[in-house]
Structure 1
């Protein structure tokens, strides 16, 4: 007969004592009124950009933005080739592959931290957000810029920038999911602020690579941020109900026998 193996690891040496770590069972929710207020501001900026672009009011602004930090008749990026490579590395963070892996890693981490409500909320935010972004692109139907050479592979419609929308939605949404682990406002603001800075760098890289107009990335970033904050407010109760369901109990890796 085969000996039944235990699911627990038997250490060969005495384990090092762990420090005390107190994690909230479900976290402390983000203030939904503040999330709605920030979302409203971001949606206003997004709406203004849609209106200006559809009425062709930003052509000079977009051309100047594309030509900034470029020189020569070929409009190449200033500086060494390493700068261009660094910009490509930054923009890859907002691509489909890395953004999907980042989302999966965050959801798994939230589940193992026993923050199922936040895991469900973040998952719902990203899944619905992709549909919203595609609807935005179909709404305007803007072509890619041709003023400068494309330094990265890009196809499809240009407005709003998918990388900008996705990076804002995912990084800010992820920050909103992990920020409730702390009661301190300073910690929460630092986490969310850092996510904003990272997503802004990704958005800005799309202009440097010549694949988006500045107005594309502005609208994309504010649209993604608006949705992340709005989802935090309106999807809170559905996510909590899903986290408390029997199905969630069966699928939770931390509670499976």
Structure 2
């Protein structure tokens, strides 16, 4: 990337350090293989004992209340809200605005396409499977719709890993890129875990949801990069055509 100019313009991005497509495809393949295995276990009834044990593991007493202090329950609810529709999309909108402000149109288009595609994939799988939510423990938060795969787990993995991949493209240092990606993985896994803790999903729901969401995020990184680049370049060409010749305004967007 070039240095900031004396006129105060944002640095012009000439290339990015995105994750190698072959690495993204390999990560995606591993995740989708895991998703297929979990889906097979659910379809054949083999996930039942693990699902029941996972839901009951930290429940105590006749009322099956979760172990731990009251503040822990509130903390879990706060964490799970990061994967909910409102906060998740607020984070997404803020990140898209930041990418556009930094003139990283390609990354913004790729992020938006990844998230939109992931939402469609998750919705189609939920409708196809039609698994009801668990009823063996009390629900500690409101939840509706089908259970498999977990929408919180799937969509939070898509959004936060895709955001990490977008910002990783801004750093030439591999350690920085992988720190961003690993942090997003840990955060999305924590969100997935809360769905079981709150009793609104089976462990197999969140395992499949997270694996599918992560798999989609990495797959989109590899396959949607060129289409996103084409859309961004078309927008830049249109902007150039509308900009008067010789315009050197500090607000003139760079590539």
TM-score, L = length of structure 2: 0.88
Distance 2:237 2:188 in 1: 31
The residue that corresponds to 1:110 in the other structure is 99
Of the candidates 181, 189, 193, which is equivalent to residue 182 of structure 2? 193
Distance 2:197 2:237 in 1: 43
Tell me, yes or no, if the aligned pair for 1:142 and 1:158 is still in contact at 8 Å.
yes
Of the candidates 125, 129, 152, which is equivalent to residue 136 of structure 1? 125
Q: Sort the Cα spacing of 1:90 and 1:23 in 2 relative to 1 into closer, same or farther, 3 A.
A: farther
CA RMSD of aligned residues (A): 1.7
The residue that corresponds to 2:34 in the other structure is 45
Shift of residue 255 of structure 1?
A: 3.9
The number of aligned residues is 234
The residue that corresponds to 1:97 in the other structure is 86
Write the deviation string for residues 8-51 of structure 1: whole angstroms up to 9, x where unpaired: xxxxxxxxxxxxx9674453232111000000000000000111
The residue that corresponds to 2:116 in the other structure is 127
Distance 1:195 1:88 in 2: 19
The residue that corresponds to 2:17 in the other structure is 28
Shift of residue 136 of structure 1?
A: 1.0
Tell me, yes or no, if the aligned pair for 1:26 and 1:116 is still in contact at 8 Å.
no
Of the candidates 63, 86, 91, which is equivalent to residue 74 of structure 1? 63
Distance 2:91 2:60 in 1: 35
1:231 is the counterpart of 2:235: no
The residue that corresponds to 1:16 in the other structure is none
Tell me, yes or no, if the aligned pair for 2:18 and 2:165 is still in contact at 8 Å.
no
The residue that corresponds to 1:161 in the other structure is 150
Tell me, yes or no, if the aligned pair for 1:203 and 1:217 is still in contact at 8 Å.
yes
1:179 is the counterpart of 2:168: yes
TM-score, L = length of structure 1: 0.87
Tell me, yes or no, if the aligned pair for 1:176 and 1:192 is still in contact at 8 Å.
yes
Distance 2:226 2:124 in 1: 25
Distance 2:74 2:12 in 1: 40
Tell me, yes or no, if the aligned pair for 1:35 and 1:233 is still in contact at 8 Å.
yes
Tell me, yes or no, if the aligned pair for 1:23 and 1:181 is still in contact at 8 Å.
no
Q: Moved runs in structure 1, 4+ residues, more than 6 A?
A: none
Of the candidates 194, 200, 204, which is equivalent to residue 215 of structure 1? 204
SS across alignment from 2:31: helix
Write the deviation string for residues 67-104 of structure 1: whole angstroms up to 9, x where unpaired: 11111111111111111000000000000001111111
Write the deviation string for residues 142-201 of structure 1: whole angstroms up to 9, x where unpaired: 000000000000011000000000110000000000001111111111100000000000
Question: Structure 1: 5+ residue runs without aligned partners?
Answer: 1-20
Tell me, yes or no, if the aligned pair for 1:27 and 1:115 is still in contact at 8 Å.
no
Tell me, yes or no, if the aligned pair for 2:126 and 2:146 is still in contact at 8 Å.
yes
